[in-house]
Structure 1
Amino acid sequence: MKILVEEEAFSYYLTQEIIKKYPYEVIPTYEDFRWKAWASQAELVSLGKRFLFLIRFKGRFFRDCPGTKNYLCCGYKIFHFAEGCLFDCTYCILQLYLNRPGIKLWANVVEDGFQELERVLNNARKEKRVLRIGTGEFADSMVLEPFGGVSEKLINFWETLNPFAVLELKTKAFIKENYFKKFKSDPKIIFAWSLNTPFIINTEEHGTSSLEQRIESARYAIKHGFTVAFHFDPIIFYENAEAEYPQVLEKVLNAIPWEKIAWISLGALRYPKELKYIAEERFPQTSIYAYEFIEGLDLKKRYFIDLRKKLFQSLAKIIKEVEDKITFYFCMEGERIWEEVLGKPLKSSNQVCQLLDQVAYRLCQS
């Protein structure tokens, strides 16, 4: 990977830390970098994974998760430290949303981002309001650790500030045990893994760690005093999906102490219609876009509700056996799915938020 540093990003702490370890090149600005003018967007997405840009970010680091009022959202907050991912999943929405190619790490995250985050956390404490904050929305939380170590810095920041908030670090990476040994135990730090069946991991999640490695990493996290979470998102329909997703959930529940799991989310494949054309150009072998979809209330393509229910209900029997010990929730679904699959008559996003805030509150009191 080639590292390119914007001139105005050169003096920041993170930049200086990275260029001591890796070769780099200084460029005037990101906008001055010349991509192949004839390349399609699909080609630029692939090409961009070869370049890491260190950029001075001028927007807000702390923001709401981009949900939609048409489905029930969980009130998640995002600390925005980077854009892009070294992994290459066929369904990744970043292929479409990030119309600026390349992987971008905000050089001023320590000086400006942490300062903004500290203000937010201090205000939340004054208001006696618990926060759930994550970094895995626009970038994998862990895959860039060898370069900037931003997650490590955030964990240390949490130890220093001791905020009334949980930090969720979501990833598809294998994290070795030595990484966890560097920190003091803290249940407010939640290491979370996106999970899928071995079939989907092997065919659609290119460059990611295996299911066994993700579960092994979770066991390391627990061993060293952290909390874990899991996200079955996206759940993708294929011939054996209804048999294999429950097997993955059983494997997790057999390997991980239930009381150490903050929450488990469920979300079926959904995507903006334009993503299909970019993804199929980049991954001609994928078949996940070949099924019948309907346009949802958020204008994203979704499976018909009967198929979504069928996929979720394949997990429901197991969920019912442990739901008094583990909090399950749906990502971007409506009242009907909550009621008919989990038997929970949730009517508003605020109720989903309260459900997860209760877990966060308990972890902050630990």
Structure 2
Amino acid sequence: MNEFYLNNISQLYIHRSVEKLPGTLRGLEKLRELGIHEHRVVNDRSEIPGEHLRQSTLYLSPVRGEPLGHCPGSKGHICCNYHTLDLYMGCSLGCSYCVMQSYLNFSPITIQMDTSPMIDSIRRLAETNPDRQIRVGTGEVGDSLLFDPLFQLNGELMAALADIPNLVLEFKTKTDYVDHLLQLPGRKFTVIGFSLNTDEISRAEDGYSVSIIRRFEAAKRVLDAGMSVAFHFDPMIRSGDWKPGYEKLCNSILELHQYALEECEDPGNGLWPIAWVSMGTVRFTSALRDKIADRPYLYDEYSRGRDGKFRYLQPLRAELYRLIHGNLQPILEGERPLRLYMCMESDAMWRQVFGNTPAHIPELKPIFQPLRSAP
């Protein structure tokens, strides 16, 4: 972890309005311990010199715009009603398929330091929907945990929102940087979501992300702390020995599920130790395709959907999803049935893979039930 920070943080800029916030002070102290002492306070992002507009620059910023957003989903596809907070905007992991390359300026990586407006927005949403489970995540436009050991902003959310009974916070990551969260207030309603791909694909395409085995080791530490985990097969890629690779991952989830049954209590808040597993296949815009034109998985068969993104043809996507669905079938029913769902897929694809849509699958209905907008 420390080596990653030393190699990937070259400049630090701090907006004057967040200079004295607790997260800023924590981060500065941690960085000084690593030997990173230099920073500059600015009044606006425009003061950052052009030569420092790069991924190795961190910009600590106030919140801009609405603090709580709704997962954008895709036109013509079923959405799981996920809500998002943009704590960490941008990522240094360098995954080849990252869709953010096509719509987010990565230079510099921006960290929105003031969690108070985010906390207020979540409280209003929860008060408006006391009868619904509310899922909020911080990993929509950046890895939730990559820089969190420095600034510990997710912990601020956990502590401030621990009294909301119908809230679930999820922090999605491709790291194993979980240890700073394991003893915090609010961990009973917190889910650490690990993105998964086959070992072969991860080594080739996941940049600086930690190995799959380290992610599963971290997941076990999370369970041992009384928290929940989730897994996200996204983006699934038909490359190399993908079938045995995904079967191996499913076997690891089955083993972890058995461990949770035998050793872990349910955290509560309607959660099981393995809260859910999602699936999504590789998808990209024309702009992203131009940036990653050398990747071998681009030579498969794709079609352009109504949302403008390219996806595998339907039979190819269905084959991928059925592989996961079939291998996880032993834990889709019975004690603590697994909540398995697809991300950004059509009504027709749901019927092909699950035989029905989420609204008619009892385990998934609480997740997909729309929320009322907060005033």
Q: How would you bin the TM-score normalised by the shorter chain? A: 0.7 to 0.9
Show the counterpart of 2:184: 183
The amino acid of 2:174's aligned partner reads K
In the alignment, structure 1 residue 318 sits paired with structure 2 residue 327: yes
Q: What do residues 86-142 of structure 1 show as CA deviations (whole Å, max 9, x unaligned)?
A: 211001111111135221001222x332233333333333xx332111111111111
The amino acid of 1:98's aligned partner reads L
Tell me if the contact between 1:74 and 1:352 (Cα under 8 Å) persists in the aligned partners: no
Show the counterpart of 1:276: 289
Tell me if the contact between 2:81 and 2:368 (Cα under 8 Å) persists in the aligned partners: no
Show the counterpart of 1:124: 129
Show the counterpart of 1:250: 251
How far apart are 1:200 and its partner, in Å?
Answer: 1.0
Out of 170, 178, 195, the position equivalent to 1:168 is 170
The amino acid of 1:34's aligned partner reads P
Show the counterpart of 2:209: 208
**Percent of residue pairs bearing the same amino acid type:** 26
Cα distance change on mapping 1:50 and 1:358 into 2, 3 Å: closer
Q: State how far apart, in whole Å, the 2-side matches of 1:209 and 1:9 are.
A: 31
Q: What do residues 226-265 of structure 1 show as CA deviations (whole Å, max 9, x unaligned)?
A: 1111110100011321221111111221133365211111
Cα distance change on mapping 1:340 and 1:59 into 2, 3 Å: same
How far apart are 1:278 and its partner, in Å?
Answer: 2.0
Show the counterpart of 2:302: 293
How far apart are 1:6 and its partner, in Å?
Answer: 2.2
Q: What do residues 23-56 of structure 1 show as CA deviations (whole Å, max 9, x unaligned)?
A: 31123321232325xxxxxxx9xx7220110112
Q: Quick check: 287-296 or 212-221, which moved more?
A: 287-296
Tell me if the contact between 2:119 and 2:161 (Cα under 8 Å) persists in the aligned partners: no
Show the counterpart of 1:95: 101
Cα distance change on mapping 1:135 and 1:185 into 2, 3 Å: closer
Cα distance change on mapping 1:87 and 1:351 into 2, 3 Å: farther
Q: State how far apart, in whole Å, the 2-side matches of 1:238 and 1:274 are.
A: 22
Cα distance change on mapping 1:354 and 1:31 into 2, 3 Å: farther
Structure 2 unaligned regions, length at least 5: 1-8, 32-36, 262-271, 370-375
Q: State how far apart, in whole Å, the 2-side matches of 1:104 and 1:180 are.
A: 22
Q: State how far apart, in whole Å, the 1-side matches of 2:184 and 2:19 are.
A: 29
Tell me if the contact between 1:75 and 1:350 (Cα under 8 Å) persists in the aligned partners: no
Tell me if the contact between 1:196 and 1:235 (Cα under 8 Å) persists in the aligned partners: yes
The secondary structure found in structure 2 opposite 1:206 is: coil
Cα distance change on mapping 1:73 and 1:166 into 2, 3 Å: same
Q: State how far apart, in whole Å, the 2-side matches of 1:157 and 1:196 are.
A: 33
Runs of 4 or more above 6 Å deviation:
none
How far apart are 1:147 and its partner, in Å?
Answer: 2.3
Show the counterpart of 1:145: 148
Say how many residue pairs are matched. Answer: 339
Cα distance change on mapping 1:32 and 1:351 into 2, 3 Å: farther
Q: What do residues 137-189 of structure 1 show as CA deviations (whole Å, max 9, x unaligned)?
A: 11111111122101122222232x3342111111111135x434422574321
Q: State how far apart, in whole Å, the 2-side matches of 1:34 and 1:288 are.
A: 37
Structure 1 unaligned regions, length at least 5: 37-43, 361-366
TM-score w.r.t. the length of structure 2 is 0.83
Show the counterpart of 1:363: none
The secondary structure found in structure 2 opposite 1:113 is: helix
How far apart are 1:201 and its partner, in Å?
Answer: 0.9
Show the counterpart of 1:25: 40
Tell me if the contact between 2:173 and 2:195 (Cα under 8 Å) persists in the aligned partners: yes
Q: State how far apart, in whole Å, the 2-side matches of 1:314 and 1:30 are.
A: 46
Show the counterpart of 2:73: 67
Q: State how far apart, in whole Å, the 2-side matches of 1:260 and 1:314 are.
A: 23
Q: Quick check: 83-92 or 99-108, which moved more?
A: 99-108
Query: Superposition pairs for residues 306-345 of structure 1, below 5 Å?
Result: 306-324=315-333, 325-343=337-355, 345=356
Out of 74, 84, 95, the position equivalent to 1:78 is 84
Show the counterpart of 1:196: 197
TM-score w.r.t. the length of structure 1 is 0.85
Q: State how far apart, in whole Å, the 2-side matches of 1:340 and 1:115 are.
A: 41
